[in-house]
Amino acid sequence: MKTYETKEIRNIVLIGAPNSGKTTLAEAMAFEGKVIDRRGSVENENTLSDNTDLEHEYKRSIYSTILYTEFMNRKLNIIDVPGSDDFCGGLFSGFKVADVGVMLFNAQSGFEAGSEIQQRYSDTLGKPLIGVVNQLDHEKANWESAIESIRAGAHVRPVLVQFPVNPGPGFNAFVDVLMMKMYEFTDDNGTRVEKDIPAAYADQAAALNQELVEAAAENDEGLMELYFEKGTLTQDDIRAGLRKGIAVRGVMPIFCASGRKNIGTKRLMEFIINVAPNPELAMPLRDTKGADVTADPTAPPVLFVFKSQIESHMGEINYFRVVRGKLTEGAELVNARTGNKEKISQIFAVAGKNRTKVTEMSAGDIGCTVKLKGTKTNDTLAAAGANVEIETMLFPEPRYRAAVRSVKTGEDEKLGELLNKMKFEDPTILVAYSKELKQNIIQGQGEHHLNILKRRLLDESKMEIEYFAPKIPYRETITKVSQADYRHKKQSGGAGQFGEVHIVIEPYYEGIDEPSKYKIGGKEIAVSLKGKEEYEMEWGGKLQVYNSIVGGAIDARFLPAILKGVMEKMEEGPLTGSYARDIRVVVYDGKMHPVDSNEISFKLAGRNAFREAFKNAGPKIMEPIYTVEVLVPSDKMGDVMSDLQNRRAMIQGMASDKGFDRLTASVPLAELYRYSTTLSSLTSGRASYTMKFQSYEQVPADVQDKLLKAYTEEDDE
């Protein structure tokens, strides 16, 4: 395999809703470039993409696959990513290193909810798009309907480069209005015959060619002047205008295809190579300081690792893009995150599980390497002294959480190691032991996402796990002033224990006045401030502690012990054992014994005084509230809204967006367990949602009563 220069490389990511045919089209591209001599199929389980047992079983992409093909003396790197939003991590990593997104639309469905989801990601990341209406050979293919839906839903203006002559089972020809030719296919291997446009399609072709010319001219003042002067543009002029339009996301050229019959593949690849930007002209990656890192092949080498995986016979594999410079076999680079040196002992060009060893790669190219020490996804490897770290990928917030444990006892340590390996491969999986909840919590993008992980653990490591509803991280606080005193006294021979503490507690809020006096139960308590300590709690909120002891009632050396007792009860609130927050404590009196008083006595006295005061201070339980945004087809809006209201949601807003509705609501986390599954069921998989922590709010009285009862029963047990 030759070494391709930067200007000879194109990087694309294949995106689209599930069942839009990305894997089949990628297979056709590899075939056209003679990377494979026979096309596989998803049904026969022999494609370059979708090459794992799980993908064979589900007949869909679960992981992103890196491929390449060689065409027109160029190298086209292809990243085939899953269509399901549960596995959007692959899409984000693919968008990071690809320069153009090729968005596939199923000719039966056109612009779907899945198309909208992936389009939003392309908007967020600012990536240009090329559109392909695929599966035009399907019996239910409807070109006009598909194009109408794309025009209605796309954020980037679609402009037709081609239109099919005979969509449906007999599909074998399309008209290309850039080349102004008809292409007819004589077999299912991409063999095509170039013909003049038949008279029946001449007017349609001329009108679409005019639209294409105008779309190209709009992106370049010089071309616009030329168009006004001559009334048309040459093919090269059109390509130049489209190149600029694509780069600024002003246009999305639309192509025809049947990946299964290999119709349109070659013409699409020709367009990508002629019009899509090479890495030198594409939007550059940025470093952590916000500066562009251009694909300069002469600069010291910099690599960005966008995907990592573990294979039993190979160990850790790191997939990278050469951001700049030239990578050579044996190069020694520095990991910007760890500071450790890494030797690139081998370099591979990647076509699914097939890897071709190469000796070097130029800026902009994509490949993989093995046997690195401690390098993972999102890491930058750079020449010593380069002082460059590429801005990391930010993945979507998790939308599904569950508690996890091994079915067999005594395997907790092994489970932890295996889950960390899974996280190494998929950064959208978050795993942590919650000290607060006393559970291992795993988070992902959806129930299917975590079920795939569960299946992998069983198949690959014989580790059987179970998911169950996680506890909710409630918070406890108070609503009014309360006073309590507690005497701890213990005598059991020898030195005893004695400590008495008098405290006042009240709700803390930003801007609260300094305490001066309290009137509680007809009794006035004066406050003489001797000292103040303020703590930001790890779990949110604050604790203020005031020393207001006069006359030496308690020795100052015992105050830290009192604070420790209060802190212990803040960590395990009196109501449900949840963390307490936003409380002011004033220690104003107490007693001590010259012999029996010690730190443990005052810690216990402080702890119990705080507990008693808390119970009489109008205690309330607060629950985490999340902002949930649902993207739902308009005809399913009523069902989705009704379900959310049953989950105690507060609807914040609704907006219509080209056949979809955006519904924003504030929803208690306690009501969101398995929501992704319910939403999929309600909308036949057409809706998606995001969720983000909003705030802590007081639970309703009936919910608080249930929580208190449940905690009391658990405590009794």
- Among 178, 148, 181, CA closest to 165: 181
Give me the phi and psi of 145, to 5 degrees please: -65, -40
Residues 125, 118: Cα–Cα separation, whole Å: 11
Residues 555, 129: Cα–Cα separation, whole Å: 72
For 704, the 3-state DSSP assignment is helix
Which pLDDT belongs to residue 717? 54
Give the residues of the chain that fall short of pLDDT 70. 493, 657-659, 715-717
Which pLDDT belongs to residue 685? 79
Which pLDDT belongs to residue 635? 87
CATH superfamily for 400-471 is: Elongation Factor G (Translational Gtpase), domain 3 (3.30.70.870)
Which residues, in sequence order, are CB contacts of 585 under 8 Å at separation 6+? Answer: 503, 504, 505, 543, 544, 545, 546, 566, 610
Six token digits for residue 120: 């939003």
CATH topology match: 400-471 vs 621-704:
yes
- Among 425, 307, 317, 312, CA closest to 372: 317
621-704 classified as CATH 3.30.70.240? yes
DSSP assignments along 447-505, one per residue: HHHHHHHHHHHHHHH---EEEEPPPP--EEE-SS-EEEEEEEEE-SSSS-EEEEEEEEE
Unique residue bearing structure tokens 């600012």: 126
Residues 714, 708: Cα–Cα separation, whole Å: 10
CA geometry: angle at 187 spanning 184 and 191, to 5°? 60
Contact 603, 564 (CB under 8 A): yes
Q: Which amino acid is at 569?
A: K
Unique residue bearing structure tokens 């449906």: 168
* Total-model pTM: 0.87
pLDDT tens per residue, range 234-259: 999 999 999 999 999 999 999 999 99
Unique residue bearing structure tokens 């591209």: 29
Assigned CATH for 479-618: 3.30.230.10
CA dihedral 298, 300, 306, 307 (to 10 degrees): 100
Six token digits for residue 41: 């199929």
Contact 533, 545 (CB under 8 A): yes
Which residues, in sequence order, are CB contacts of 343 under 8 Å at separation 6+? Answer: 330, 331, 332, 333
Contact 440, 431 (CB under 8 A): yes
Q: Which amino acid is at 425?
A: E
Q: Quickly name the fold that domain 286-382 has.
A: Elongation Factor Tu (Ef-tu); domain 3 (2.40.30)
516: enclosing H helix or E strand: none
CATH superfamily for 6-211+250-283 is: P-loop containing nucleotide triphosphate hydrolases (3.40.50.300)
Beta bridge partners of 10: 76
Which pLDDT belongs to residue 714? 72
Q: Domain residue spans in the chain?
A: 6-211+250-283, 286-382, 400-471, 479-618, 621-704
- Among 584, 579, 591, 592, CA closest to 610: 584
- Among 578, 598, 590, 516, CA closest to 554: 590
> Which DSSP symbol is given to 155?
S
